[in-house]
Amino acid sequence: MWWWGSLLLLLFVAVLVTAVAIFALRTPRRPAAVVLIGPCGAGKTLLFYRLTEDEHCDTVSSMQSNQGQVGDVALVDFPGHYRLRGGLKDELDRATKLVMLVDAAAMAAQAKPAAELLFQVLTAFQNAKRPPPVLLICNKTDKATAKTPQRVKLMLMNEIETLRKTAHALRSIDDDDDKQQPAQLGVEGRVFSFDQHSPCPITFLPISVKNDDLSPVRAFVQTGLVSTTPSS
């Protein structure tokens, strides 16, 4: 009979939906964590070990995530290598806070990769109801060539503005109404500003991860607060 095929189809759909639901329930949710990010050479791994094990160590750029605890807070050190950037989304999905490092003494080389990373992060949270706060550490301030937080901020905003223009041009070329477009960061026709257009509140902190007391960083990781003036 004609209804026999329809019944089989309904049964198949019901079984499929049930299987998907069971799989989702059995798949363990990754625990919330503070995620540590930054381009290669910024000092992330040293910061990770100072926070989790309270020790200095010689480090090299890691090709896999490090995971540890700061008190009762989980901390994830995500690799800075560009080729591993595709795995960042999974970490952002569980991020309650973000700590980003840049080498303030090498901003000529760090500005572009740091801005690309930050652009990806901010775009990911553009439509989030509760985007996580970001502590942006300007590392290696003990070096003579270190840029001030204000200069670091300006360099990053300029690079992000360039990325926005490039993304806008690509959207114009690939203007397909049937294709879902990624969220747009900032406001079209206006120059990007962290203060006005960042979905995440960002605090800039000048510090030497190697030599300075890390109490402000620990406070942010554990409470979301930091004893410095937020970016303006």
| pLDDT score of 26 | 47
Cβ pair 206, 150 in contact under 8 A:
no
| pLDDT score of 30 | 60
Residue 82 lies in a domain: yes
| pLDDT score of 222 | 94
Distance CA 177, CA 175 (A): 6
Long-range contacts, 208-213 (Cβ 8 Å, 24+): 208/139, 208/140, 208/141, 208/142, 209/43, 209/46, 209/47, 209/50, 209/101, 209/137, 209/139, 209/140, 210/43, 210/46, 210/56, 210/140, 210/142, 211/142, 212/141, 212/142
Domain of residue 59 covers 31-223
Cβ pair 199, 187 in contact under 8 A:
no
Residue 16 lies in a domain: no
- 73-77 and 66-70 strand pairing: antiparallel
Residue 23 lies in a domain: no
Residue 53 lies in a domain: yes
Residue 24 lies in a domain: no
Strands (E), 38-166: 66-70, 73-77, 95-103, 134-139
The domain total for the chain is: 1
Using alpha carbons, select from 49, 48, 38 the residue that is nearest to residue 109.
38
Say what the pTM is.
0.80
Residue 7 lies in a domain: no
Using alpha carbons, select from 113, 100, 102 the residue that is nearest to residue 143.
102
CATH code of the domain in which 120 resides: 3.40.50.300
Residue 145 lies in a domain: yes
Residue 229 lies in a domain: no
Q: What is the pLDDT along the chain (232 residues), one digit of tens a residue?
A: 555 555 555 665 555 555 544 444 444 456 789 999 999 999 999 999 999 997 766 665 666 788 999 999 999 999 877 666 667 899 999 999 999 999 999 999 999 999 999 999 999 999 999 999 999 999 999 999 999 999 999 999 999 999 998 887 776 666 655 555 556 888 888 999 999 999 999 999 999 999 999 999 999 999 998 765 444 3
